[in-house]
Amino acid sequence: MQRNHIQKMFDEWRKANRKRFEFPLFIQERSRSGYCRVGFDGITPEITISFGKQSFGIWVGLRAWKGGGDGLDEFDIVERKDPVTGEYYCGLCLEPVRYKTRKELWVSHSFEPLAKWMDKNFQPDKWLCLYADPEDKCIWCAFIKDESDLQHEVDKRRDFYYAIPVIKPKGERIIFKK
């Protein structure tokens, strides 16, 4: 299977840092075209890391959702290399930090922020809230919310579809539905 340079660097970083993750990462799917999906052991299966040739982010979706889904966060870089110094930097940043290697750029600018995102969002009081078109139930939006905000979401958002705990409970799945 084809892996792009982002996936290769991520796999190395993931293996070197596996003890840091309370919820281990695992490869769910890898396609011949270079697409890759990474899941989290102990986290609801709707949340995955998605890699494309030009993208890297947290995605919410399932095949059963008629192609619907949403990105929770992106960790993309527009990778640039300074022709004079040979340093790498992100072309999206207004004041880019420069790195000696491509790997240093990706680890510092994307992989470490991903680890911080996971630490913040993979908590017992966090729920994945899904929003859908009321007619066809196609998921079009997702957010991670505190458990204390669930009732407000149900009462105030007409497009609220359902919510599930981010940390997968043992036994039956809990779904908070409107």
- Which residue has tokens 């009462």? 155
Q: What residue ranges do the domains of the chain occupy?
A: 126-177
Q: Edge-to-edge strands of the sheet including 126-132?
A: 139-146, 126-132, 160-165, 176-177
User: CA 85 to CA 126: how far, in whole Å?
Assistant: 44
Give tens-digit pLDDT for 27-80. Answer: 887 777 777 888 999 999 889 998 877 678 998 976 555 556 788 999 988 999
In the structure, what pLDDT confidence band is assigned to residue 102 with cuts at 50, 70 and 90? very high
pLDDT at 106 over 70: yes
Q: What is the pTM of this model?
A: 0.87
Give tens-digit pLDDT for 134-144. Answer: 777 677 889 99
In the structure, what pLDDT confidence band is assigned to residue 8 with cuts at 50, 70 and 90? confident
User: CA 70 to CA 128: how far, in whole Å?
Assistant: 11
